[in-house]
């Protein structure tokens, strides 16, 4: 059981790294695809990753690509790998991206994605739907992954 817990904790750490990296990579790809100029970026997982674009002609594209690609990349990789550990990481990313947008909305911190999405013209309903889907589906899937990963043989 001890080794199973160590592996589980290592997978959680990997999940955090994958989530922060793919989310921020999504912002970088969105900015590049929409013609934004990258001013500064930091992808280090041990502090809060960020990317700053300016000017950004299509901030909604840049901003939405973070949470969207931050979910789609890990899910696509898990679908290719087809291993329970890959699904745990992907489902963590699904849940974490939804929780991040929800908490950023509640905090109102102007540097976080949700207030920036709202300032850029995103309809609150689109953010709410994203949060509801990712949190509900992500919770159910991640919980199942955790039970399977920690269950004794």
List the structure tokens of 63: 């901003």
Q: Map out the domains of the chain as residue ranges.
A: 2-150
Q: How confident is the model at residue 45 (pLDDT cuts 50, 70, 90)?
A: confident
Residue 152: per-residue pLDDT: 65
Q: What's the rounded mean pLDDT across residues 42-57?
A: 93
Report the C-alpha gap between 113 and 104 in whole angstroms: 7
Q: Encode pLDDT of 68-121 as tens digits.
A: 999 999 999 999 999 999 999 999 999 999 999 999 999 999 999 999 999 999
In the predicted structure, residue 153 carries a pLDDT above the cut 70: no
Q: In sequence order, which residues have a C-beta less than 8 Å from that of residue 123 and are 6 or more positions away?
A: none
- Strand partners of residue 58: none
Residue 110: per-residue pLDDT: 95
């Amino acid at each position: 059981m001890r080794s199973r817990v160590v592996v589980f904790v290592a997978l959680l750490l990997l999940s955090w790294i994958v989530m922060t990296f793919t989310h921020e990579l999504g912002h970088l790809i969105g900015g590049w695809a929409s013609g934004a100029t990258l001013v500064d970026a930091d992808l280090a997982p041990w502090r809060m990753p960020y990317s700053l674009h300016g000017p950004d002609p299509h901030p909604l594209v840049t901003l939405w690509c973070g949470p969207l690609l931050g979910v789609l990349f890990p899910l696509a990789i898990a679908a290719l790998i087809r291993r329970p550990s890959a699904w745990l990481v992907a489902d963590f990313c699904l849940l974490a991206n939804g929780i991040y947008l929800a908490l950023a909305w509640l905090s109102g911190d102007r540097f976080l994605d949700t207030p920036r999405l709202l300032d850029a013209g995103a309809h609150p309903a689109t953010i709410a739907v994203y949060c509801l889907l990712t949190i509900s589906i992500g919770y159910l899937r991640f919980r199942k992954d955790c039970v399977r990963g920690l269950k004794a043989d």
